[in-house]
Structure 1
Amino acid sequence: MTIDDTQSAEQQLFNTGTLVPFRVLDTQTEIAPDQENLFVRVELMLEDDQEEADPEELVEWGAFGFLFALAALSFHDARPRGTSAIEFHSADLFTVADCLQALSFGRYGLRIETDYLRGRSMKTAVTIQPDGRVTLTTWGRGKSALHWLDRLQGKRRLQAVSTGPAAS
């Protein structure tokens, strides 16, 4: 993969993350005990239907970018909750340093987990296993995770269309 020196590390990681092909295997949503928040868990598989690429190869070149892209989308959509509004700045961006602080590697694979970050209630965890299996979990974020996956696959969100008379 060629590195573009004109782009920031964040841009390069995000670009890589958007190139990683995946398929949604299962989605589970659960209402929290407070009856207001949702817990969402999505099981994915990194795979390419077109070229029969080995999922392990996709993990090798795309894992960091994929994790970064999901975390950046989570950060962008996250809003303050309670007293965290004091730290919230709407123009703030998710950085490589943020990613590295949330990154870990364990027996289940490479993982990024965030709770609150600079006033944003991210509440997101993503784990990529060496065999290409991915688990994306959010809590208290509604169904935002499903929208991030749609965005990564290039799907457009549906928008309401006026049903009133057309203007001449």
Structure 2
Amino acid sequence: MQFTKSLMTATLVTIGGFAAMSSANAASPTSSSFGVSMEVESICTVNAPPVDVLLAATEAGTATEAVTAETALILNCSKGSIATIGLTPASTTSLDGTGNLKGGLLGEELVAYKLTSVSAAGDAWGTTTPVKTAAFENYATAISTSIFLTVTDAADVTPGPYSDTINISVAY
């Protein structure tokens, strides 16, 4: 009988423990949260660099402002960004957008030119007179900016090839 009483007591204690555990598990679920954050950095990339400009051949001493060519710089920048584009001819490191095509005797003869935007007849475009793009609607929509190169003197030099390099800076 003692054994049955002990077994009955152990059974009730065990059932009571399960009931207590069940009621603890049946309580309202708890909740928690955590934050998520990310820094989106501003970006501006050259989608397509300008293609090299090949000015039309001209006879020595007869070049005019009609000797002009156009290329374009295509950028993709962060939404809302406005890119400021500066151009610097390597021949002069001029900040006003004027440069020289070098060639001729000993590569020291010069043919003057200027860089402009919008049209060949516009104001010179350098780094002291940079060109600003419109605000970018989104990164995927590129903005193309025209670059004109126009000869500004008579090219009264020794016949042959003349060239220069234009350095581009983009701030955003």
Larger radius of gyration: 2
Q: Which has the higher contact order (CA 8 A, sep 6+)?
A: 2
Q: Which has the higher helix share?
A: 1
Q: Would you call these one fold, judging by a TM-score over 0.5?
A: no
**Where on the TM-score scale, by shorter chain, does this alignment land: which range?**
0.3 to 0.5
